[in-house]
Structure 1
Amino acid sequence: MKATRHDDEEARRLVEAGHWAGTLIDEHLAAAAGEAPDAVAVVDRGRTWTYGELDDAVDRFAAALRRRGVARGDVVSWLLPNWAEAIITHLATIRLGAVSNPIIPIYRHRETAFILRQAGSRVVVIPQLFRGFDYPAMIDEIRPDAPALAHVVVVGDDLRGDHVRFEDLLEEDRAVPTDEERSAGDIALLLYTSGTTSAPKGVLHSHHTLEHENRSIIDFFSLSAADVVFMPSPVGHIIGVLYGMQLPFMLRTSVVLLDVWEPGTALELIERHGCSFVVAATPFLHGLVHHPSLADRDVRALRTFACGGADVPPTLIRAATSALGCTVSRGYGSTEYPTATACNETDPLDRRAGTDGRAIGQARTRIAPDGELQVRGPELFLGYLDASLNVEAFTDDGWFRTGDLAHIDDQGYVEITGRQKDIIIRGGENISAKEIEDELAEHPDVADVAVVSSPDPVLVERVCAVVVPRAGADITLTTVVDWLTARRLARQKLPESLLLTDELPRNASGKVQKFLLRDLAREHAPQGVTR
Structure 2
Amino acid sequence: MLVPTRTSDIDYAAIGAWDDRTLYTFLDEAISESPEAPAIRGDGTDVSYAELGRTVSTLAAAITQRWVSRHDVVTVFMPNWPEAVAAIHAVNWAGCVVSPVVTTYRRAELSFILAESGSRVIFIPHVYRGFDYVALLSAVLPDLTDPPVVVVVRPQRTLPEGFYAFDELIGEQLRMDPVGDASDICLLLYTSGTTSRPKGVLHSHQTIVWEMRSIIRELQLGAADSTFMASPIGHLTGIVYGVYLPMLLRQSTSLLDVWEAGAAVERIERHGCRISLGATPFLRGLTTEYERRTEASSLRVFICGGADVPAELVDRSSRVLNCLVTRTYGLSEMPTFSISGAEASLEQRVHTDGRPVSPAEGYVLNGEGGIGELVVRGPELFLGYLDSALNADAFTSDGFFRTGDLVAIDDSGALTVRGRMKDIIIRGGENISALEIENYLHEHPQVLDVAVVGYPDPIMGERVAAYLVVVAGVSGSSIDIGSYLQACGLAAHKRPEQVHIVADLPRNASGKVQKQLLRGAHRGASA
TM-score normalized by structure 1?
0.81
Instruction: Determine whether 1:321 maps to 2:318.
Output: yes
The CA deviation string for residues 141-164 of structure 1, in whole angstroms up to 9 with x for no partner, is: 011222322310111124123211
Instruction: Tell me the amino acid that sits aligned with residue 156 of structure 1.
Output: R
After TM superposition, give the deviation of residue 4 of structure 1 in Å.
2.9
Change (3 A) 1:399 1:464: closer
Within-5 A mapping of 1:409-424: 409-422=410-423
After TM superposition, give the deviation of residue 103 of structure 1 in Å.
0.3
**Range that drifts further, 517-526 or 93-102:** 517-526
Instruction: Tell me the amino acid that sits aligned with residue 335 of structure 2.
Output: P
- Determine if contact 1:121/1:146 at 8 Å carries over to the other structure: no
- Tell me what 1:380 maps to: 381
- Tell me what 1:361 maps to: 358
After TM superposition, give the deviation of residue 34 of structure 1 in Å.
1.0
- Tell me what 2:110 maps to: 112
- Tell me what 2:128 maps to: 130
- Tell me what 1:308 maps to: 305
Q: State the alpha-carbon separation in 2 of the partners of residues 138 and 32 from structure 1.
A: 37
Q: State the alpha-carbon separation in 1 of the partners of residues 44 and 451 from structure 2.
A: 33
Instruction: Determine whether 1:405 maps to 2:406.
Output: yes
After TM superposition, give the deviation of residue 273 of structure 1 in Å.
1.1
Instruction: Tell me the amino acid that sits aligned with residue 101 of structure 1.
Output: S
Q: State the alpha-carbon separation in 2 of the partners of residues 417 and 102 from structure 1.
A: 30
Instruction: Determine whether 1:162 maps to 2:180.
Output: no
Change (3 A) 1:459 1:361: farther
- Tell me what 1:52 maps to: 50
Q: State the alpha-carbon separation in 2 of the partners of residues 309 and 182 from structure 1.
A: 31
Q: State the alpha-carbon separation in 2 of the partners of residues 284 and 417 from structure 1.
A: 22
Change (3 A) 1:282 1:517: closer
After TM superposition, give the deviation of residue 195 of structure 1 in Å.
5.0
- Tell me what 1:444 maps to: none
Match of 1:345 among 338, 342, 366: 342
Within-5 A mapping of 1:43-442: 43-157=41-155, 158=157, 159-176=159-176, 182-195=180-193, 197-291=195-289, 294-299=292-297, 301-370=298-367, 371-422=372-423
Instruction: Tell me the amino acid that sits aligned with residue 306 of structure 1.
Output: I
Change (3 A) 1:297 1:47: farther
Q: State the alpha-carbon separation in 2 of the partners of residues 133 and 166 from structure 1.
A: 19
- Tell me what 2:30 maps to: 32
- Determine if contact 1:271/1:297 at 8 Å carries over to the other structure: no
Instruction: Tell me the amino acid that sits aligned with residue 399 of structure 1.
Output: F
After TM superposition, give the deviation of residue 515 of structure 1 in Å.
5.3
- Determine if contact 1:195/1:421 at 8 Å carries over to the other structure: no
- Determine if contact 2:454/2:462 at 8 Å carries over to the other structure: no
Q: State the alpha-carbon separation in 2 of the partners of residues 341 and 515 from structure 1.
A: 30
After TM superposition, give the deviation of residue 294 of structure 1 in Å.
4.7
Q: Percent identity?
A: 43
Change (3 A) 1:523 1:208: same
Instruction: Tell me the amino acid that sits aligned with residue 101 of structure 2.
Output: I
The CA deviation string for residues 256-306 of structure 1, in whole angstroms up to 9 with x for no partner, is: 11111111111111111111111111000100111267535442x311111
Change (3 A) 1:514 1:330: farther
- Tell me what 1:513 maps to: 462
Change (3 A) 1:355 1:2: same
Q: State the alpha-carbon separation in 2 of the partners of residues 45 and 14 from structure 1.
A: 41
Change (3 A) 1:521 1:121: farther
After TM superposition, give the deviation of residue 464 of structure 1 in Å.
7.2
Change (3 A) 1:423 1:231: farther
Change (3 A) 1:287 1:197: closer
Q: State the alpha-carbon separation in 2 of the partners of residues 276 and 91 from structure 1.
A: 23
- Tell me what 1:504 maps to: 457
After TM superposition, give the deviation of residue 3 of structure 1 in Å.
1.4
Q: State the alpha-carbon separation in 2 of the partners of residues 89 and 423 from structure 1.
A: 41
Q: State the alpha-carbon separation in 1 of the partners of residues 448 and 162 from structure 2.
A: 40
Q: State the alpha-carbon separation in 2 of the partners of residues 148 and 423 from structure 1.
A: 41
- Tell me what 2:429 maps to: none
Gaps of 5+ in 2: 426-433, 468-493, 507-527
After TM superposition, give the deviation of residue 36 of structure 1 in Å.
1.8
**Range that drifts further, 39-48 or 399-408:** 39-48
Q: Considering only aligned residues, what root-mean-square deviation do their CA atoms show, in Å?
A: 2.5
SS in 1 for 2:397: coil
After TM superposition, give the deviation of residue 69 of structure 1 in Å.
2.0
- Tell me what 1:436 maps to: none
The CA deviation string for residues 385-444 of structure 1, in whole angstroms up to 9 with x for no partner, is: 0001101111111101000001000001101111013599xxxxxxxxxxxxxxxxxxxx
The CA deviation string for residues 486-508 of structure 1, in whole angstroms up to 9 with x for no partner, is: xxxxxxxxxxxxxxxxx63477x
Change (3 A) 1:266 1:207: same
Q: State the alpha-carbon separation in 2 of the partners of residues 309 and 395 from structure 1.
A: 24
- Determine if contact 1:102/1:237 at 8 Å carries over to the other structure: yes
Q: State the alpha-carbon separation in 1 of the partners of residues 166 and 420 from structure 2.
A: 42
Q: State the alpha-carbon separation in 2 of the partners of residues 15 and 394 from structure 1.
A: 22
- Determine if contact 1:404/1:418 at 8 Å carries over to the other structure: yes
Q: State the alpha-carbon separation in 1 of the partners of residues 397 and 14 from structure 2.
A: 23
The CA deviation string for residues 309-366 of structure 1, in whole angstroms up to 9 with x for no partner, is: 0001100011101101011111100000001111123211111111111111321121
**Range that drifts further, 44-53 or 198-207:** 44-53
SS in 2 for 1:339: strand
Instruction: Tell me the amino acid that sits aligned with residue 81 of structure 1.
Output: P
Gaps of 5+ in 1: 425-451, 467-502
